[in-house]
Amino acid sequence: MTSDFDDVFGFIDEMEASANEAELVTQIPSDLFEEDKSYLPSIDTYPVKTQQEVLRRLKVIQFTEKRLKGGWTEKNLVPILNQVEQELGL
């Protein structure tokens, strides 16, 4: 119940305002977790040159992952990437 005094001087019930604000924050949009399928092209929708490059890069990554000991640092990667060129002929 508000009085004339409250209306004139703009009394704000902080507890009520805080509860209303918290309610708004905790409402999660229903479409937030829906997957948008409109942007999922398959690899065969790309030009052949792009497909070949994707497959080449995938081979390099898989080759590197199998042989990598330690982190993905230049010191660890250079010898492996030199092997990639020799063994995979890339």
Does the pTM of the predicted model rise above 0.95?
no
pLDDT-based confidence at residue 89 (cuts at 50, 70, 90): confident
- Distance from C-alpha of 61 to C-alpha of 9, rounded to nearest angstrom: 67
Check the CA dihedral 32-38-39-43 and report its sign. Answer: positive
Give the count of alpha carbons within 13 A of 39, CB side only: 2
- Least confident range from 27-31, 39-43, 44-48, 53-57: namely 27-31
* Phi, psi angle pair for 40, to nearest 5°: -105, 70
